[in-house]
């Protein structure tokens, strides 16, 4: 029969379980991805050709592709982060909810881009959402890695700083994109290109990250954790 202390410990562990946080997050990502496609409609061209339809639909299609890549990279980034995190606490739960807020608005930002492709306000709003996602991702990383009890294994200072840099670079690029969006049509085109480039850079970084640095993105080798990413921390 379990002692009172053991029961309390199990109750405490359940309260820190990350599974519900991940379940909610995955659901939000899935819905956000699904909502994007609602902006893709075949316009009425009064009997025009398919080429004319595609020409008229290029802005919604570009907004869809960029936003799909943004949400996909955010999901992969979030998954990688929570491969490092073993437990959550109340603050981390709220940080994660705050992270999901701008992410749920990406379909709205995509809708703005599809209608006002080179409008500075639309590009600024879209960039603001991406900037908020990156800043909150950085906040979660700093919060979690500063609390080894929440992790599968501690992250040393060098890796922690390198992990910060992986997020700081996109943050700087988003700021640049927002600024150049105010500089006329050419600047707006550059801004849009930056938004499209950053998810590509993320996936390229993941592919070419050396094995010894994969902890930064959560791609930890099974051998480094006894063959399973879900083993409890022994500290």
Domain ranges of the chain: 14-38+52-221
Task: Name the burial class of residue 222, with classes exposed (0-12), middle (13-18) and buried (19+) by CB atoms within 10 angstroms of its CB.
Answer: exposed
User: Any idea which residue has 């960039």 for tokens?
Assistant: 127
Q: Would you call 136 helix, strand, or coil by DSSP?
A: helix
Task: Name the burial class of residue 94, with classes exposed (0-12), middle (13-18) and buried (19+) by CB atoms within 10 angstroms of its CB.
Answer: exposed
Cα–Cα distance, 72 to 83 (Å, whole number): 17
Instruction: Output the CA–CA distances (angstroms, integers) from residue 38 to 31, 63, 95, 114, in the order listed.
Output: 11, 12, 29, 11
Q: Taking all residues of the chain, what is their mean pLDDT, rounded to a whole number?
A: 80
Tens-place pLDDT, residues 30-85: 999 999 888 776 666 666 666 665 666 677 888 899 999 999 999 988 988 888 88
Q: How many CB atoms lie within 10 A of CB 49?
A: 9
pTM of the model: 0.78
Dihedral (C-alpha) 114, 119, 123, 126: value to the nearest 10 degrees? Answer: -50
């Amino acid at each position: 029969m379990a002692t009172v202390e053991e029961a309390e410990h199990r109750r405490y562990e359940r309260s820190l379980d990350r599974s519900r946080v991940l379940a909610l997050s995955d659901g939000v990502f899935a819905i956000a991805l699904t909502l994007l496609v609602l902006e893709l409609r075949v316009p009425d061209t009064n009997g025009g050709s398919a080429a004319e339809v595609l020409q008229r639909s290029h802005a919604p299609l570009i907004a869809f592709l960029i936003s799909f890549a943004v949400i996909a990279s955010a999901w992969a980034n979030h998954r990688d982060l929570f491969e490092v995190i073993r437990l959550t606490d109340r603050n981390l739960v709220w940080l994660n909810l705050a992270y999901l807020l701008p992410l749920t608005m990406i379909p709205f930002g995509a809708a703005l881009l599809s209608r006002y492709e080179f409008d500075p306000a639309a590009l600024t709003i879209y960039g603001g959402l991406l900037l908020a996602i990156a800043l909150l991702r950085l906040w979660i990383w700093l919060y979690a890695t500063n609390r080894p009890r929440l992790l599968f294994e501690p992250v040393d200072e060098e890796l922690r700083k390198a992990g910060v840099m992986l997020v700081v670079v996109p943050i700087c690029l988003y700021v640049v994109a927002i600024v150049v969006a105010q500089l006329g049509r050419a600047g707006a085109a550059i801004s849009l290109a930056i938004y499209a480039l950053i998810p590509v850079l993320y996936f390229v970084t993941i592919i070419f990250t050396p094995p010894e640095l994969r902890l930064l993105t959560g791609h930890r080798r099974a051998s480094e954790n006894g063959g399973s990413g879900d083993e409890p921390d022994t500290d």
